[in-house]
Structure 1
Amino acid sequence: MAALNMNGAIDLSALAAPAPAPAAGAHTGVVVDVTDQTFQQLVEQSVTVPVVVDLWAEWCQPCKTLSPILEKLAHEYGGRFLLAKVDVEANQQIAQAFQVQSIPAVVGIIGGQPVPLFQGAYPEAQVREIIEQLLQVAAQNGITGTVAVGDDAESEPEPEPVDPAHAAAQDLIEAGDWEGARAAYQAILDKTPLDAEAKAALRFVTLFARLGDADLEGLIAGASDSLESQLAAADAEAALSDFAAAFARLLALVRKGGDDREPARQRLVELFEIAGNENPDVAQARRELASALY
Structure 2
Amino acid sequence: MIDVTLENFETEVVNASLSVPVLVDFWAPWCGPCRALGPILEKLETEYAGRFKLVKINSDEEQELAGMFGIRSIPTCVLLKDGQPVDGFMGALPEGQVRAFLDKHVPPADEAPAPAEVQEASAQDALAAGDVAAALEKLQHAVTTDPANDEARFDYVKLLLQLGRVAEAQAAFAPVQAKAAVDRRLGALKAWLDAIEFVAAQGLGPDADAQFAAKIAANKRDFETRFARARWLMAQQRWTEAMDELLEILMRDKHWNDDAARKTYVAILELIEPPKPKVAEGQIPPEDPVVASYRRRLSSVVLS
TM-score interval, smaller chain = 0.3 to 0.5
TM-score of the aligned structures, taking structure 1 as reference length: 0.37
TM-score of the aligned structures, taking structure 2 as reference length: 0.36
Higher relative contact order, structure no. (Cα contacts within 8 Å, ≥ 6 residues apart): 1
Greater share of helix residues, 1 or 2? 2
